[in-house]
Amino acid sequence: MVNVMVQGLAGFLFLGLWLTPGASGQLTKLNAAYSAESSWSLATWVAFDAGYFKKYGLDVNLVLIRSAATITSALIAGETPMIQLGGNGTIQAALQGADTVNVLTLVSIIPQSLVVTPDIKTADDLKGKRFGVSRFGALSDLVIRRYLRKFGLDPGKDVTIVQVGGIPELLAAMNEGRGNLWRLPVSARAHSGEKGRL
């Protein structure tokens, strides 16, 4: 089970709140990225909208960069020195030798729903089906593969996994019938229609 949801951007924000004096001069401009339009990004948006970044000397431009691999690449390249994402991207990069650090976890579990089409009643019904994830290697992909193994299925042989995009694209693909199972954050569950759930 994936145990850690790392929220790097919020960690840098909170460290900055404690370590940085109030902004009295020119603000430091920087890009900060988040990887999903979900409640997990709420802390970042609250800080942005409430003016906390500016209060502590930062002129932040928030940028949406979907997928852990892409947002982590932007961090490593220096394009976004602060990011908020599921921890898998920075952890995988560190394991491959990159100098990445996870600062804070806001959510220590991954509150997800596996949403399925009505024809799937048991785990055995998953074999041969098509599954939508945001991107290969992203948190949605890792979670789906983990649960498929838990159900006794080989993700590389027993099912087809396709990249669909972020939460809006996953919801659209699901409601258009372009697959049988999706991994959605709990915050997106209300928009998933009348699908079933494992």
Q: 163-185, pLDDT tens digit by residue?
A: 887 777 877 877 777 777 666 55
How confident is the model at residue 1, as a pLDDT?
29
Question: What does pTM read for this prediction?
Answer: 0.61
31 in Cβ contact with 83 (< 8 Å): no
pLDDT band for position 5 (cuts 50, 70, 90): very low
pLDDT tens for residues 142-152?
Answer: 888 988 999 99
Which tops the pLDDT comparison, 3 or 141? 141
Residue 119 CB partners (closer than 8 Å, separation 6+): 125, 180
- Say how far apart CA 3 and CA 107 lie, in whole Å: 9
DSSP string across 48-89: HHTTHHHHTTEEEEEEE--SHHHHHHHHHTTS-SEEE--THH
pLDDT tens for residues 86-130?
Answer: 777 788 888 889 988 888 766 666 666 777 788 888 888 989 988
